[in-house]
Amino acid sequence: MKNYILVFVALATIFTFSCKKSSSHIVKYSIQGTAKSSVTYTDQNGNLQTVANADASWTTSFSSTDHGETLKLTATSVDGSNVGGKIFIDGNQIAQSNGNSSSIIISTILQ
């Protein structure tokens, strides 16, 4: 009986430490400006999504475990005014554009 318990403990230990644990990250995109914008961003599945006439302080967020995914945010103001944007991962600002033009393109890799 002791041998079975030892085998069980050994297998449980191997299984526990050999399983790769995927960590989830919260991704947040935000834009800032004075006018509505057309926004395109990479979603949690790696697909591009488009939002027409997004408010000047538009944000969206999602959870992702897809490490290595390229996160991309583009925005173009509808009236030509300046627009800025930021990408956050787990609450930390990772990429930004300060809003010195009417359109932005920013990207980063989800680590």
What is the pTM assigned to this prediction?
0.79
Q: Which phi and psi angles does 6 have, rounded to 5°?
A: -65, -40
pLDDT by position in tens, the chain (length 111): 555 454 444 445 444 444 445 699 999 999 999 999 999 999 999 999 999 999 999 999 999 998 899 999 999 999 999 999 999 999 999 999 988 999 999 999 998
> What pLDDT score was predicted for residue 2?
59
Alpha carbon distance 22, 60 (integer Å) = 23
Scanning the structure block, which residue is given the tokens 């009417």? 102
DSSP state of 35: S
